[in-house]
Amino acid sequence: MAVCADKPVWRTESYAAQVEKHWPETGKHILAQYDDTSIVVYQAFRPEIAEFAVENQRFGGPFYNPNRMSWIKTNFLWMMYRCGWASKENQQRVLAVRITREGFDEILANAYTPKAQEEAGLSKDQLKVRLQWDPDHEPAGTTRLPRRAIQLGLKGEILHRYASDWIVSITDITDTVQEQYRVLQTSGTDQLQVAAERVYHVSDPKTKALIGADDWAG
């Protein structure tokens, strides 16, 4: 587990305000909550895995399979689309996993889309991180957006390092997820509070070219 003197608090902001002021409408962008040293990624699990992770501040236990590819997402609303706002089977608990930016940048530096993997001549066994740029969605999940959201599939040694070495904190945000889903159902997006996120700028040119992230000056 990574050492951090003052562990940052997971924050929410108005969905409507972020759409208006901070999020690009199109392109491939990493939307994330981050600071100078850490970044938040999301995963949804069955209760037993989530409870072990929160209690021990690492992943493990009898229900966690370290030999299976594990997918992380930086975009809160993309996680909500995938887990149905914590309603899908084996995805009832949503975790905000804060990891070091050093670790996240290493994940990105080893991330390949299927096309990039083919061009690099990498076999399935050689691949450390699978990258997918998928259509982002509005909060209700019924409308696709022109913007693309990133998800990263980790396996092997890089998954081991993510699951233990790079973790700053693990927070169960399921109560907030369920609360805001009720807001969405009753009041729409005007009052909706979601994770405070901005575009994460990939500083290394080689990594940026590898993953295909777009420029954004906002």
Spatial CA neighbour of 10 closest among 76, 102, 82: 76
User: Cα–Cα distance between 48 and 53 in angstroms, integer?
Assistant: 9
| Ordered per-residue pLDDT tens for the chain, 218 residues | 665 556 789 999 999 999 999 999 999 999 999 999 999 999 999 999 999 999 999 999 999 999 999 999 999 999 999 999 999 999 999 999 999 999 999 999 999 999 999 999 999 899 999 999 999 999 999 999 999 999 999 999 999 999 999 999 999 999 999 999 999 999 999 999 999 999 999 999 999 999 999 999 87
Residue type, 100: T
pTM above 0.85, yes or no: yes
User: Cα–Cα distance between 169 and 163 in angstroms, integer?
Assistant: 11
How big is the CA angle at 43 (ends 34 and 156), to the nearest 5 degrees?
A: 95
